[in-house]
Amino acid sequence: MIVVTGGAGFIGSALVWALNRGGEDDILIVDQLRETEKWKNLIGLRFNDYLDKAVFIDQLTRGHFGDRIRAILHMGACSATTEKDADYLMENNYRYTARIAAWRETQPGCRLIYASSAATYGDGARGYGDDEADLLNLRPLNMYGYSKHLFDLLALRKGWLKHIVGLKYFNVFGPNEYHKDDMRSVINKAYPQVRDEGLMRLFKSHRPDYQDGEQLRDFIYVKDAVDMTLFFLENPDIGGIYNIGTGRAQSWNDVAAGLFKAAGRPLNIEYIPMPDHLQGKYQYYTCADLTKLEAAGWSKPCRPLEAAIEDYVCHYLSSNAHLSLG
């Protein structure tokens, strides 16, 4: 079977959706639902069972599953870049992943693909190349990025990256992110106001080398991110850390233009001051270097930003729809 941790979350549930579309339903969902609305992401998907994350890691390390797990897609983590509880992030993002990876060493037939993050690159001053030799030079700007970075370093030190894969996701957006509160994409958060009031608010720039709204990000649609992720499931001999992005840096103004067009409203942007707590931790530029990914055999182009936003708005946001087989 295939285990998807964080399987009720954003990227995790999208992976289950894509696996189902490929005929795979021998899937174990691992997550922690509590009082969130994540459960809605599972409606219409096919899987064999669900386990709480604490139950799963206990059963895994006790040998409950034997050799029945063919792959673990470890997407489960606290993804809040503003989370301040460092102990929680260390336990949830770093140590939990380390326990899975240590178990995998006892089961060499099991494929492990885990979610790292582009947040590990910090302000980008050291570039966005995904060469493992450069890991020691990276300086994340927040504790979330650091918790992800720590496991990348552990995997490098232990030699695990020869046979497991870490994926540095850039700015992923798309259906099934509805439950993420403040961590939802700007597209998701802004759509109701664009639709109802014809207005979108963006942060002003606090750097003279960037105009308002011209801060740049590598925005990747979740369907493309999922395709890239499953490429590594289909190619089990590949190991290492890889970027998951489009390789294109585009501005928040580009995002706004695409969103207004998809909503059928004239462009109307209001620029607002950036909160004090974000200044100093804000990335003004991100762009995935895809050289290594393409050298590994990936060749499928990602959707253009405008087309991705149109698909998101017209098929999901406008009706609050989730990824589903129905």
- The residues annotated as belonging to the active site are 144, 180
Q: For the chain, count helices (H), then strands (E).
A: 10, 13
Check: CB of residue 139 under 8 Å from CB of residue 153. Answer: no
Q: In Å, what is the CA distance from 120 to each residue of 139, 173, 221, 264?
A: 7, 19, 20, 37
Q: At what angle do helices 143-158 and 96-104 cross, to 10 degrees?
A: 20
Alpha-carbon torsion, ordered 254, 256, 262, 266, to 10 deg: -110
User: What single string gives the DSSP state of each residue in 8-20?
Assistant: TSHHHHHHHHHHH
What is the Cα–Cα distance from 309 to 213, expressed in whole angstroms? 17
Detail the DSSP E strand segments found in the chain: 2-5, 27-31, 49-52, 71-74, 111-115, 165-169, 171-173, 200-203, 216-217, 219-221, 240-244, 250-251, 269-272
Could you tell me which of 129, 183, 113 has the C-alpha nearest to residue 294? 129
Distance CA 249, CA 245 (A): 10
**Contact predicate 192/261, CB 8 Å:** no
Return the C-alpha torsion angle 187, 192, 193, 197, nearest 10: 140
List the one residue out of 245, 260, 258 whose CA is nearest residue 305: 258
- Residues belonging to the chain: 326
